[in-house]
Amino acid sequence: MKKLTAVLLALVLAAALCVGAMAEGAVNYVDTWVLTGISMAGMDLSPEALGMDMFMVLNEDGTCLLSAMGAEETGTWAETETGITATDGSGVTDAYTLTDGKLSAEVDGMVITFTRKGEIVPAGEPAAEATVLANLTLADFDGHWKLTGIRTMGTILPPALGGIELDLTIENGKCLYDSVTAAGKGAVELLLELEEVADLGTQVTGYVQDASGNKADAVLTLVAMSDGTLIWDASTPEMEMVFVLEPQTEEAAQ
């Protein structure tokens, strides 16, 4: 009986291993895969927000079509133990790992993730566009504010991509402006002045103070938005550059 039990157990284990191997190798990669995620320097970025349109079509005969920003080229692909490899027309091969039904590869310091076209979840209704608030007082701008996004060319980028940090502490009509940019790190206290702009809303301008404590050069102009953020539009005729600041708790500001 013990010998029979041992034989049956061996058969069950062998069957289980076979089923597991079949399940693991049963992935059919033939499909259209669309770029849906980008990770870089610990940050998750949206390809759509960055205007990056990429996809790859994996054909049953081992050929593939690779498309990036409208430029297309043919190549080849092959299945591996962990996913696939895709080789473009110039012979460059990228290895993709299948995780949770998605293919990911590390390319030039970025991790790019592709999802089957049929499995992409449609985006929900766009959020209502924030508007500039009016009839505010200086006290309405009080608090700790941190730069969380930079809007340029219609895309919002994380500040860390440009190595930029910006923190504001606003209280009693003054602003402690603490920043880190390519030009270096610095902190300066600004004198704030409130102004109501017709057909726009309330804006507050921060001025460097002269030796007498009076306003001198303007540093920034802020408006308060209906979504709870502050906006500093530092755009020029040549480039859009809008800084988005979000309120911070006392603990986060310290």
Between 20 and 139, name the one with better pLDDT: 139
The predicted-structure confidence for 160-179, as pLDDT tens digits, reads as follows: 777 889 999 999 999 999 98
Could you tell me the CA-to-CA distances from 235 to 27, 130, 173, 244 in Å, in that order?
49, 19, 25, 13
The predicted-structure confidence for 182-204, as pLDDT tens digits, reads as follows: 677 889 999 999 999 988 899 99
Which helix or strand (DSSP H or E) is residue 14 part of?
Answer: helix 2-24
Torsions phi, psi for 20 (to 5 deg): -65, -45
| Gap between the Cα atoms of 239 and 115, Å rounded | 33
Could you tell me the CA-to-CA distances from 253 to 41, 126, 250 in Å, in that order?
23, 30, 5
The candidate with the shortest Cα–Cα distance to 132, out of 63, 231, 208, is 231
| Gap between the Cα atoms of 229 and 132, Å rounded | 10
The predicted-structure confidence for 205-253, as pLDDT tens digits, reads as follows: 999 988 887 888 999 999 999 999 999 999 988 888 899 999 998 655 4
Q: Cβ(155)–Cβ(49) under 8 Å?
A: yes
How much is the pTM?
0.59
